[in-house]
Structure 1
Amino acid sequence: MQCIPSDTLQEFVEKARPFSRKGTVPHYIPALAKAEQTDLSVALYTKEGCVSAGDVSKRFTLQSVSKIITLALAIDDLGRTKVFEKVGMEPTGDPFNSIAKLENQTPSKPLNPMINAGALTVTHLIQGMNNEEKLERILQLVRKMANNDRITVNEYVAKSEFETANLNRSLCYFLKEHKVIDGDIEELLNLYTNQCAIELNCIDLAHIGYVLANDGINPYNGEIILSKDITRIVTTFMVTCGMYNESGEFAIKVGIPAKSGVSGAVLSSIPEKMGIGVYGPALNEKGNSIAGVRLLQSLSNQLQLNIF
């Protein structure tokens, strides 16, 4: 498809940027609280190449966007049957870090891989001899999908998250008590917080989205990074659960598969068309980039990206 000109894209960014003042930068992870509230940038990847606007060189961490990476890796490692024995496939109307549904479910497995309890369970399933090997495998998949070998972990953010991860610790102990996971909780949290602290920029994020849009194939060299079946599963979860408990509203107003993170990152993938990477650290009450969501809504309307 024909992509939007860069100057027009910049106009969309500037129209959406004022909405950032209506949001807040998260403070429960101290390292994320240092972000500039009015930052907003976007990159679009299509078969025609990349177009971007805003400060796309600014780096940020994946946070919950990493959940789609680990889900893809876990399914590739174990197959979908074993993965979904441990985690469900249903959306939830609860916040992403809620423990409520775990207490009400029988058996007490997480409803889906996009909430924290489900993502911790999925990360626990990643294969490897130790955390170093598992993290390297996650990093390698991110690097391949982003076509950037320089992507690494922001250790300052990872440490900040690990030291303040008490709610996720609670989720882990609940999951261990109900035999959803086993092993050392601190080891799992260390891996999970490092996974969330993988750092990149909007262009990297857009390229990951385009690989998903391209059925898991790297458009540069034709390498099959993920199977078509895995990309279908991941993209479906992005539609149903990717924007936390705002997913239904986002599907109606924007209508594109997307996954957000509390860093302000939003990854979008429009099948057979494009990948979009957005960064805007000011969040709405649901934990999604407030200006980023507005920008994606405008782009979806302008470029007719709605898949429904």
Structure 2
Amino acid sequence: MDYQQILEEIHTEVKPVITQGKVADYIPKLAAVPLNKFGMAVQTLDGKLFSVGDADEYFSIQSISKAHTLILALQFAGENNLLKRVGREPSGNPFNSLVQLEYENGIPRNPFINAGAMVLVDIILSHSKDAVQTILKFVRDRSNNQNIDFDKEVAASEKSTGFRNAALANFLKSYGNLENDVEDVLDIYFSQCSLSMNCIDLARSFMILANHGLSPWSGKQIISKSQAKRINSLMLTCGTYDAVGDFAYRVGLPGKSGVGGGIVALIPGRLCVAVWSPGLNSSGNSLAGTQALELFTTKTGKSIF
């Protein structure tokens, strides 16, 4: 299959909607990102890479990082311990809902909403002397790119306006679902969300989930086949905020999005595909990115269904 031609066709077809979304202007640093950017990359399990547009331009991956911290937290705490502190159901509410967290007594609905991701950070912090570097090394290894780093300006920008996230963290602490200091958890959380990557890095970093837990770069089994299956199922049901139903209906792939405009999706046993377009829809997912992924599964005839 000619993936390069398909990516070029998609790029042409989504151009009219690229500037129709809205950047995440509640994070000052992200508000300055040009709206007309679009990149897309496909990494196949047999080692082929295809890309189009701004696929090599770095951007803030934001909540996409939660898939990586979920893997780390699973490695540190084990599935049973993790599930005592974080649920596995779609939220049906915005990713930063305070009401839902209080209603459910401090147990976040899933690992991909903000409160759930903070519990993941707390687990990593309890098991690592330097949680920030642990996360960074993990993402570098998964992407096979040792130059990936945090964007400290983005992290500072998020911290300066992160009042709702601070409230969520304090809620978690009040219910006994954070072991560590609230400020320490928030600092690490803001850092992980500021990870700066491009579409190529992102597609490569999710390869272990497309390859049943096995890293194609090191040949090591990073997580079990069962854990890879469970994470993929969580991405399908919870990975795109409160628009998971629409995303599954249109795209038909497990995926994880971020308010930086990135989305990564995968076909187990075949490939990973990453797209970036900073204009978001009302649910906080990339507008053009979602359409591009829908076109990708339509044109290739490949999805998990």
Scaled to the shorter chain, the TM-score interval is: over 0.9
Instruction: Say if 1:235 and 1:257, in contact at 8 Å, map to a contact too.
Output: yes
Percent identity of equivalent pairs:
37
Aligned residues: 304
Q: Tell me whether 1:240 sits opposite 2:237 in the alignment.
A: yes
The residue correspondences of 1:115-130 to structure 2 (distance < 5 A) are: 115-127=113-125
**Where do 5+ consecutive residues of structure 2 fail to align?**
none
> CA separation in 1, counterparts of 2:125 and 2:181?
15
Cα deviation code 1:66-109 (max 9, x no counterpart)? 1111111001001011111111111111011111211222x431
Equivalent residues of 1:18, 1:38 under 8 A apart: no
CA contact (8 A) 1:76 1:230 kept: no
| Aligned residue identity for 1:9 | L
Task: For structure 1, list consecutive stretches of 5 or more residues without a partner in the other structure.
Answer: none
User: Are 1:82 and 2:81 matched, yes or no?
Assistant: yes
- Counterpart in 2 of 1:159? 156
Partner residue, 1:220:
217
Q: Which moved more, 1:21-30 or 1:224-233?
A: 224-233
**62-71 vs 6-15, which deviates more?**
6-15
Deviation at residue 280 of structure 1 after TM alignment = 0.5
Query: SS at 1:82's partner residue?
Result: helix
1:239-265 Cα shifts (integer Å, max 9, x gaps): 000010000111111100100000001
* Residue range with higher mean Cα deviation, 215-224 or 160-169: 215-224
Of 15, 18, 21, the residue aligned with 1:23 is: 21
Residues 153-302 of structure 1 correspond to what in structure 2 (within 5 A)? 153-302=150-299
Match status 1:73 vs 2:72: yes
> CA separation in 2, counterparts of 1:279 and 1:188?
28
Q: Secondary structure at the match of 2:40?
A: strand
TM (normalized to structure 1)?
A: 0.95
Paired residues of 1:3 and 1:48 also in contact (CA < 8 A): no
C-alpha offsets along residues 126-183 of structure 1, whole Å, 9 cap, x if unaligned?
A: 145777x111111111111111111111111111111111000000111111111133
Once the two structures are TM-superposed, the CA of residue 7 in structure 1 deviates from its matched residue by: 3.9
Deviation beyond 6 Å, 4+ runs, structure 1: none
Cα distance in structure 2, aligned partners of 1:7 and 1:139: 34
State the partner residue of 2:8.
Answer: 10
Partner amino acid for 1:217? L
Q: TM-score, normalised by structure 2?
A: 0.96
For 2:183 and 2:238, the matched residues in 1 are separated by 27
